Structure 1
Amino acid sequence: MPERPYTYYDFTVSLCPECFRRIDAKIVFEDNNVFMLKSCPDHGFHKVLIATDREYYKNIRNYNKPSEMPLKFNTQTHYGCPYDCGLCADHEQHSCLTVLEITDRCNLTCPTCYAMSSPHYGRHRTLEEVERMLDVIVANEGTPDVVQISGGEPTVHPQFFEILDIARTKPIRHLMVNTNGIRIAKDKVFVEKLASYMPDFEIYLQFDSFRPEVLKTLRGEDLTTVRKKALENLNAYNVSTTLVVTLQKGLNDDEIGHIIDYAVQQPCVRGVTFQPTQVAGRLQDFNPATDRITLTDVRQKILEQTNVFQPNDLIPVPCNPDALVMGYALKLAGQVFPMTRYIDPAHLLNNSRNTIVYEQDEQLHAHMIKIFSTGISVDRVEDNFKELLCCLPQVHAPGLTYNNLFRIVIMRFIDAWDFDVRAIKRSCVHIVSKDNRIIPFETMNMFYRDDKEHIVKKYQQQNA
């Protein structure tokens, strides 16, 4: 009998990337690749590459854990995912990180921008609006794990520090500011004031490339000097920082290892987050058929372009294993020592906060003793590294502080091409909308921004 050219693996619900209607989809294996096959009655057949590591894709199901719900839901479930955001009662994960957009304005007009920001787009939120949005987050989460102040470019808001002060009155465990770094590079007094919000505060710094031509493609300007000056100022005040890299296939994916190596050498940097480009918002000179890069591509390139990390150092995050990879390491004297390899997945499945003990690595232990003998260490653990986010174990490492933490995150923001309703229901990165709903980041950018809501309204009218 004739055989199909693939092995059927699973079934899900996806979207047509042209009209955004819900359609059935197959998940199939071809050699080591994983594809999504789907067909729209109006726009035909689509075959979308969703993973380049068949075994990793199969293994992510072993990292599912019981869902953690928010304290309340904000909308009714009526039309079905993704047309009821949010959060509707059918959503399976609380907000591990909530984005609070305090302005639509930006001091750049990036060719790649999920929010369509520019110097003249939209407006700033008022202090009253911001406080209401923060209160919605607290009502949903009780004690929010991470709130990220964003935009647009949040540092252009004329009441930026007043907003940070309001946020500090709320029971938020960790506060972040998502920024392109321009003001940080130009204004050292501004950075000194940022440092006064430490600890439990972090800068999420855009850092896409070392090459001017790449930055011009992604950001419209050569920002290499801005990035380096921003890090110089952040290092001067040791403001905890994560470097955030927007990735496009064939554009900057060959720089992954170089960026990690550079990040390790920066005293203020606590890690690097890699975000494959989401097909949403403003996206110039990008072909979804050829320029997409998968989560497993990024993971493999990290392994290939660094000589430190092993496959079991970069594992799925249990709250949304389809979309998140995370690896933790200790940063000591300009070197990194991976820790995630010591995590037993069985503990993660049981939602157990097992403890990793650094003495399990003899080389690391010896190196730490050498460091401690030179007096570099501190006297106590700093709250077990501030709890390494909500989804991975705490670390017991006497004598170390948050300064010694280094994490790598791959954050896949699903779009209409690779939309998988199973993963969307587990999305844990959310945005507070202008009308105070809590909406998954992915569906916000596809459906619920100002220029997109007509898509949802059309579907709701057709299915009323």
Structure 2
Amino acid sequence: MPTRPYLFYGLTNSVCSRCLTKVEAKIIFRDEKVYLVKHCTSHGREEVLIADDVAYYKQCQAFIKPGDMPLKFNTPIQYGCPYDCGLCPDHEQHSCLTLVEVTDRCNLSCPICYADSGVAELSETTHQPRRHRSLAQIEQMLDAVVANEGEPDVVQLSGGEPTLHPEFFQILDRAKARPIKHLMINTNGLRLAHDRDFCDRLSQYMPGIEVYLQFDSFQEQALRELRGADLRAVREQAIAHLNEFKISTTLVVTLKKGLNDQEIGSMIDYALKQRCVRGITLQPIQAAGRLEGFEPGRDRYTLTEVRRAILEQSPYFQPKDILPVPCHPDCLAMAYALKLKGQVIPLTGLLDPTAFLSVMPNSVVYEQDEALKQQIFKLFSTNHSPASSATTLKQLLCCLPLVSVPAGLTYENVFRILIMQFLDPFNFDVRSVKRSCIHIAHPDGRIIPFDTYNMFYREGSAGSALITHRQKS
């Protein structure tokens, strides 16, 4: 009998990339790569590369643990995933990080933008005026996040460009008045570069805030293709101000295959040399929003390809150092390190994987496992006694800017690399999106996975009409 030229690994649901209708999908292994194969009755067969490393893909499945539920759910189960987002009771994970978009306006019109923001008064997709959200609306969104999470781990103020909001510092005041553990500001850096007084005032909100700075390339061509402008001098000046005022910063790189993926190692080296930088986040382009010149079949860049590029281009990390993040292992991978007097000491790979994996499936905090507790505190001792620590293994190895470090060191010594891949109509996997922990606050009070928000729930998105039709019918 003839043998199929692939290994059938699993079955899930996806969506047709053209009509966004839910379809059955097979996960197959072929030539040491992982593909999603689906068939739409209207648009035929579709095959999408989702990983180029079968061994790592299997490792991700071993890092699954029971999810943490939010304190409340916002929508009922009615049409099935991904048509009930809000969060519905069938979603498997709470919000590790929640975006709150405070404005639609921006001082750039990037050719690649998931939010379709820009300098024009009218949106290209909705043809409605771009606007700042009112302080009252923003407070309602923050309250919705707190209602779901109690004490949210990370809230990220985003846009558009949030620093353009005329009440930006009042927004910070409102956010800091709520029990949010860590506040991030997602910015293109223009105001940070051009307004030193703004940076000075922003530094007064330290600690507990962090700048999430767009930082895509050292090359003019790549910046023009991704951002529509040569921003090299802007980024240099922004970093100078952030270093001057000691404002914790993460560099965020939007990656496009063949454009800036060969710069990953040099960007890690640059980040390690900056006093203000706590880490670097690498985000392959999500096929959503404005996508000038982006061809998913040609330009798609998977998480495993990014991971391999880090290992090939940076001398500091080994495969054991870049691990799946347990809350959403398909789409998040992370490495922690210490930077000490010019040295980089990877930390994640020092953990015994046997002990780590034995505790994670039951979501046990490490204080309750004496052997693991001692191992953690041996590596990450704190200034207070282990008996009084409230730090959990989830905090240590989740997608949060939190880590306990040896006594005498500070947050400035911590360096993290995070690969953050978002699902889109091409690689969409219902099995995976149910564990999504990066969410966005909808103005109506719902909390929606970032992946599905940009596909179905953002005003003017390709799938918004489909959702409206289902709700009406």
TM bin (shorter chain) = over 0.9
Unaligned runs of 5+ in 2: 124-129, 367-372
Percent identity reads 54
Is 1:19 matched with 2:19?
yes
Partner of 2:63: 63
Q: What is the match of residue 440 of structure 1?
A: 449
2:363 aligned with 1:351: yes
Q: Which moved more, 1:74-83 or 1:352-361?
A: 352-361
Which whole-Å CA distance do the structure 1 matches of 2:440 and 2:340 have between them?
35
- Equivalent residue runs for 1:256-267 within 5 Å: 256-267=264-275
Structure 1 residue 358, shift from structure 2 partner: 8.2
Code of the residue aligned with 1:142 in structure 2: it is G
2:199 corresponds in structure 1 to: 191
The alignment partner of 1:136 has SS state of helix
How many Å separate the matches in 2 of 1:384 and 1:288? 46
Q: Distance in 1 between matches of 2:283 and 2:338?
A: 22
Partner amino acid, structure 2, of 1:454: A
CA 1:360–1:139: 2 relative to 1, 3 Å:
closer
Residue in structure 1 matching 2:187, options 168, 176, 179: 179
CA distance in 1, matches of 2:397, 2:390: 12
Instruction: Provide the secondary structure at the position in 2 that maps to 1:414.
Output: coil
Aligned to 2:418: 409
User: Which region of structure 1 is more displaced relative to structure 2, 44-53 or 115-124?
Assistant: 115-124
Give the match's secondary structure for 1:395. Answer: coil
Partner of 1:300: 308
1:384 to 1:282, Cα distance in 2 relative to 1, 3 A: farther
Instruction: Give 1:152's aligned amino acid.
Output: G
What secondary structure is seen at the aligned counterpart in 1 of 2:333? strand
Does 2:430 align with 1:421?
yes
Structure 1 residues 391 and 419, CA gap change in structure 2 (3 angstroms):
farther
Q: Tell me, what secondary structure is at the counterpart of 1:93?
A: coil
CA contact (8 A) 1:264 1:335 kept: no
Please show how residues 54-453 of structure 1 align to structure 2 within 5 Å.
54-119=54-119, 120=121, 121=123, 122-343=130-351, 344-354=356-366, 355=373, 390=395, 392=397, 394-452=403-461, 453=464
* Structure 2 partner of 1:369: none
Kindly state the Cα deviation for residue 336 of structure 1 after the two structures are TM-superposed. 1.4
Post-superposition Cα deviations, 1:311-358, rounded to whole Å, max 9, x if no partner, equal 111111111111110111111123211100123232333323445558
Amino acid corresponding to residue 395 of structure 1 in structure 2: S
Deviation track 1:238-288 (CA, whole Å, cap 9, x = no partner) reads 100000000011111100010001000000000000001000000000101
Cα deviations by residue, 1:176-210 (Å, 9 ceiling, x for unpaired): 00000000001111111111111111000000000
Q: Matched residues in 2 for 1:275 and 1:384: separation? A: 33
Q: Which moved more, 1:336-345 or 1:52-61?
A: 336-345
Which whole-Å CA distance do the structure 2 matches of 1:181 and 1:221 have between them?
13
Q: After TM superposition, give the deviation of residue 45 of structure 1 in Å.
A: 0.7
Match of 1:373 in 2: none
The worse-fitting range, judged by mean Cα deviation, of 332-341 and 343-352 is: 343-352
Return the alpha-carbon distance in structure 1 between the equivalents of residues 389 and 205 of structure 2: 19
Which letter maps to 2:446? Answer: R
Q: Give, as a single letter, the amino acid of the residue that structure 2 aligns with 1:157.
A: H
SS of residue in 2 equivalent to 1:290:
helix
Give the TM-score, by structure 2 length.
0.91
Q: CA deviation at 1:455?
A: 2.2
Shift of 1:412: 0.6
Verify the 8 A CA contact 1:270 1:405 in the aligned structure 2.
Answer: yes
Q: Specify which of 448, 458, 463 is matched with residue 469 of structure 2.
A: 458
- Give deviations 1:397-419, integer Å, cap 9, x for gaps: 11111011100000010001000
Q: Distance in 2 between matches of 1:396 and 1:272?
A: 19
Q: Which residue of 2 aligns with 1:370?
A: none
| Structure 1: distance between partners of 2:91 and 2:202 | 35
Q: Which residue of 1 aligns with 2:370?
A: none
1:296 positional shift = 0.2
- Contact 2:379 2:406 (8 Å CA) reproduced: no
Q: Which amino acid aligns with 1:5?
A: P
Aligned-pair CA distance for 1:360: 6.1
How far off its partner does 1:308 sit? 1.1
- For residues 213 and 88 of structure 1, the distance between their equivalents in structure 2, rounded to whole angstroms, comes to 43
Offset of residue 387 of structure 1:
7.5
Conserved? CA contact 1:358–1:396, under 8 Å: no
Q: Contact 1:431–1:438 at 8 Å: present in 2 too?
A: yes
Q: Which amino acid aligns with 1:28?
A: I
1:31 Cα deviation (Å)? Answer: 1.9
